[in-house]
Amino acid sequence: MNGHNILTVYGKELRDSLRDRRTLLSMIIIPTLMIPGIMAVAVGVSAKMINKARGEVPTVMVLGGDDSPVLRAALAADPKLHLVRTAANWKQQISDKQLRAAVEIPAGFDAALDRGTPAEVKIYDYDGELRSGFAVGELRNFLNDYREKTVTARLAGRGLPVALVKPFEVKTQNVAPPEKVGGNLVGGLIPYLFILLCYTGAMYSAMDLTAGEKERGTMETILCSPVARTDLVLGKFLMVLTASLTAALISMISMGLTFVVGGILMGATRMTAAAKAGPLPMLDPAGLLLVLAMVLPVAVLFSAVLLAVSLFAKTIKEASSYVSPMIMLIIIPAMMGLMPGVELNARLALVPILNIALVSKELVSGVFHWQYLALIFGSTCVYAAAALAFCVHLFNREEVLFRT
C-alpha cells in the first residue's frame, strides 16, 4: 500500500467531484435543503391545516330530542357548535364531509334526567377524519360538562358535597428532561435521515468513480498507470466516503439551524408541557455528536458496498438500476427503528442499520448504553471492513473491470 498514491488518487477525485454539479447536488445541496424543506413543508402545512380545522366551528346535526327542549336549547347555545337542520341523509352528509358529526338524543331524555334514570346519547362521526374528530371532541366536552352540571345539581338538591362522586383528582406531570422528551419525539427520525443521506450522498459519487469512468473510457487510462489496484480503490473509496460523510455532516448542521431558526420563527408555543424548554424538540448535543460517530462506520459500509456494486456496471445508467433499489434495503431497517416497541437488545445490536437507528434514538434522548454502543460500533466496523475488502478484491478481477 502506497499512501502517496492513495492521497494522489483521492486528491484528484476530490477536485474532479467538486467540479461536478451532480456530485455537489447529492453531497451538499440536497442535504442542506432536505431537512429544512421537509420540516417547513411538514410542520408548515400540517400546522396550517390543523389550525384551520381548529378554528372552524363544526357543523353538527341533532337527531331526535324533540321532547327534550332543555338539552336541545343548551346545545344550540354552545358557541363552539354550529347546529344544522335535521335531514334524513345525515349519514351521507358525514361521509361527504358536509356534516362533521351528528348527536342522537334518545326519546324522553330530559324527563329521564329528571327521574334520575340512565339515558344514552350517541355521537356519529367519520372515523379518522380530522375535522370530524374535532367535532366529536367539542360534543364530548359539551356532554361531559352537561353531565357534571347535572350531577352537581343533584348532589346540591340532596345537600351532599361534590367530593362525594369525585373523591380525588388525577394529574400527570412530566419529569423527563426536555431533551429526552424531544429525543423520544424525533429521535427515530434523525438517524433515519442521517442514514438515508449517508447513502444518497455516497451513491452518485460511487457510480461516477466506477461505472462513470468505464463509460467515459478513463478507467483504462488510470489502470495503465503504475498505481496499484489497492491504492486506486482506496483513493476512490476515500472520495466516496467524503461525499457520504459530507452529506451527513451538512444535514446535521442544517438540522441544527432548522431547529434554531424554526424556533425563532414559530415562537414558544408548544402544546406539551414537557417541551416547554423550547419551541422545537430539544436534543442532547453530546448524543447528536455520538450519532455522527456511530454513522462513521455506516458511511464506510455504504461507500464500500456502493463502490463494489457500481463497479459491476458498464454505465452510470446500469449502476443506477442496481443501487437505486438498494435504498429499500436501507429504508426498511431504518424505518423499523422508528416503530414503537422495537427496543435495542444484544441481538438487534448486530443487525446493520437497524442497530444504528435504534441506538441513535436513545443517544439523542441522552441515554447511553455503552456496551451496546461498543457492540454496534465494533460489528459495523467489521461489516465495513469486509465490504471494503470485497471492493478491493473486485478491483483485482479483470472480468469485472473489462466486462463486455
Partner 1 sequence: MIEARNLTKVFHDKKRGEIRAVDDVSFTCRPGRIYGLLGANGAGKTTTLRLLATLLRPTAGSATVAGFDTVAEPERVRASVGFLATSTALYGRLTARETIAYFGRLNGLSEAAIVARVARLADELDLHEFLDRRVEKFSTGMKQKTSIARTLVHDPAVLIFDEPTIGLDVMTARNIVRFVRDCRTRGKTVIYSTHVMSEVEKLCDIVGIIHHGRLVAEGSLAELGQRYGVQDMEEIFIRAVGADQEEAA
The span from the CA of 316 to the CA of 193, in Å, is 25
Cell numbers given for 46: 400540517
Distance of CA 97 to CAs 56, 59, 85, 127, 130, Å?
A: 13, 10, 16, 11, 11
Cell numbers given for 386: 469486509
- Which residue's CB is nearer to partner 1, number 169 or number 398? 398
Min separation Cβ 233 and partner 1, Å: 14
Residue 403 found at the interface with partner 1 (CB under 8 A): no
Dihedral, 397, 400, 401, 404 alpha carbons, nearest 10 = 140
Min separation Cβ 56 and partner 1, Å: 56
Interface positions, 352-391, toward partner 1 (CB under 8 A):
none
Tell which residue, 188, 199, 192, has the closest CA to residue 344.
Answer: 188
> Who contacts 95 (Cβ-Cβ below 8 Å, separation ≥6)?
126
The span from the CA of 202 to the CA of 388, in Å, is 14
Q: Which stretch binds partner 1 (CB under 8 A): 8-16, 64-72, 159-167, 241-249?
A: 8-16
Cβ(91)–Cβ(131) under 8 Å? no
Min separation Cβ 316 and partner 1, Å: 14
Min separation Cβ 398 and partner 1, Å: 5
Give me the 200-229 binding string for partner 1, x by CB under 8 A, dash otherwise: ----------------xxx-xx-xxxxxx-
Residue 321 found at the interface with partner 1 (CB under 8 A): no
N residues, the chain: 404
3-state secondary structure of 58: coil
Interface positions, 225-284, toward partner 1 (CB under 8 A):
225-228
Residue 5 found at the interface with partner 1 (CB under 8 A): yes
Cβ(32)–Cβ(201) under 8 Å? no
Cβ(299)–Cβ(249) under 8 Å? no
Residue 12 found at the interface with partner 1 (CB under 8 A): yes
Residue 16 found at the interface with partner 1 (CB under 8 A): yes
Residue 19 found at the interface with partner 1 (CB under 8 A): yes
Min separation Cβ 234 and partner 1, Å: 14
# of chain residues touching partner 1 (CB under 8 A): 23
Q: Which stretch binds partner 1 (CB under 8 A): 15-23, 27-35, 47-55, 147-155?
A: 15-23
Cell numbers given for 44: 408548515
- Which residue's CB is nearer to partner 1, number 24 or number 130? 24
Residues of this chain that interact with partner 1 (CB under 8 A) are: 4-5, 8-9, 12, 15-16, 19-20, 216-218, 220-221, 223-228, 398, 401-402
